[in-house]
Amino acid sequence: MVSLSTAKTDPEKLVWDELDRISAGMLGLEKESFGLQPMAPNLDLATKSIWFYTRRDSDLVRSVMNGGQAIFCVVGKDHDFHAMFRGPIAVDADPRRIEEYWSSVVEAWYEGGKNDPNLTMLHFRPTECNFWASTGNLLTFGWEIAKANLKPEHEPDVGVHKHIAFA
């Protein structure tokens, strides 16, 4: 369950903690309409960047080669965290990264394994993030909705929305 207190006091920590818990999100380029596709993130917390395995012959790789800003949208494992990241993305087949994040799941997608000629990676460096963290407590949620229904001027307090600019 997402921590609303951490969302308020240390939003950047919350974002990276929640991102570390998810197995997939939707990645694409800002300039591409309907170009988002599911991708599994591999976090590099030291550099606050995300690596994705992909195929060299994919439309996404071809689009990335033309430059631009990427967006990565995620929903938390418990559906109480939603975020959109934005920043530069580049093709980078760094063999150390391929080795670092390699797993049997990734191997299933590449016939030639780590040496598959069509294997490459995308390196995403988010510069900003918008996120929404909400309470998973049904009692709190119900109470806030009831208060709002009784007092129209009261907006339900069921979460936190923040914008983060990463340094």
For residue 151, the model assigns a pLDDT of 80
For residue 143, the model assigns a pLDDT of 67
At 152, is the pLDDT very low, low, confident or very high (cuts 50, 70, 90)? confident
Contact (Cβ atoms closer than 8 angstroms) between residue 14 and residue 6: yes
Give per-residue pLDDT as tens, 128-142. Answer: 999 999 876 667 667
The alpha carbon of residue 155 and the mean position of all alpha carbons in its chain are separated, in whole angstroms, by 28
Which one-letter DSSP state was computed for residue 80?
S
For 158, half-sphere exposure in the C-beta direction (CA atoms, 13 angstrom radius) is 20
Q: In Å, what is the CA distance from 33 to each residue of 27, 37, 40, 116?
A: 12, 11, 21, 30
Domain limits for position 72: 4-165
Range scoring the smallest mean pLDDT among 14-18, 75-79, 161-165: 75-79
Q: Work out whether strand 81-91 and strand 119-124 pair parallel, antiparallel, or are unpaired.
A: antiparallel
Give per-residue pLDDT as tens, 22-80. Answer: 999 999 998 876 689 999 999 999 999 999 999 999 989 998 988 889 999 999 988 89
CB atoms under 10 Å from CB of 133, counted, come to 26
Separation of first and last alpha carbons in the chain: 27
For residue 103, the model assigns a pLDDT of 96
CATH number at residue 103: 2.30.110.10
* Full-model pTM: 0.87
Give per-residue pLDDT as tens, 68-121. Answer: 899 999 999 888 999 999 999 999 999 999 999 999 999 999 999 999 999 999
Percent of the chain whose pLDDT exceeds 70: 90
At 10, is the pLDDT very low, low, confident or very high (cuts 50, 70, 90)? very high
Number of domains in the chain: 1
For residue 142, the model assigns a pLDDT of 72
